Amino acid sequence: MSLLIIEMGILAWIKKILGISNMEKKINIILFGPPGSGKGTQAAKLVEQYDLLHISTGDLFRHEIGNKTPLGLKAKEYISKGQLVPDTVTIGMLKNKVDANPDVKGFIFDGFPRTIAQAAALDEYLASQGESVSKLIALDVDESEIVTRLLKRGETSGRADDQDASVIKNRIAVYKAETAIVFDHYAKKDLSKSIKGIGTIDEIFNRLSQAIDSI
């Protein structure tokens, strides 16, 4: 038996004793972009391709509030007063979702984090699990294209905020002012990447896949 094989066997034994595995590290993607950038459509394809769990904060809120969980009731209390739901409540919901799905190969975080404080909370939580953000991928779409997309969506979505161009532009402005700085937070760690979010669904998906495969 060669020395190399013996060394590899010893290394594997040490990893086993310490609970370390090359396959344990999850792929944790923050899918970034303004409303109407196509995150939901692409997330569905990424889930299928990479066996990831898509975590949308909108879905989390609806689930927790609909099931009248303690966190859901707390969130509803703030929402009913027209107040922002505290980060502690939002991250609590996210933790519940992650903890309930330990066997997936990773997560797609959609709609979270929206602020530097939320990014720090996510980083801290993932670190406590021996994990980290693998990459933030932003879908870059022109404002005029986003307005066109959302107005088109508004014809069938029934959402009032999809039917008024001025409201849509304000949502984009809020995104740029409050959320885009999260891109810089992860860029400092060399984890942020912007890809072109215009083209066919498959073209955009191929760009996303290349970014993920490079991790």
Q: Minimal CA–CA distance to 56: which of 105, 97, 116?
A: 97
Helices (H), 86-163: 87-99, 116-128, 143-157
Please check whether residue 119 is in contact with residue 113, taking contact to mean a CB–CB distance below 8 angstroms.
yes
Please check whether residue 105 is in contact with residue 54, taking contact to mean a CB–CB distance below 8 angstroms.
no
Residue 110's SS3 state is strand
Residue 107 is classified by DSSP as: E
List residues with catalytic annotation.
39, 114, 153, 159, 171
Residue 137 is classified by DSSP as: E
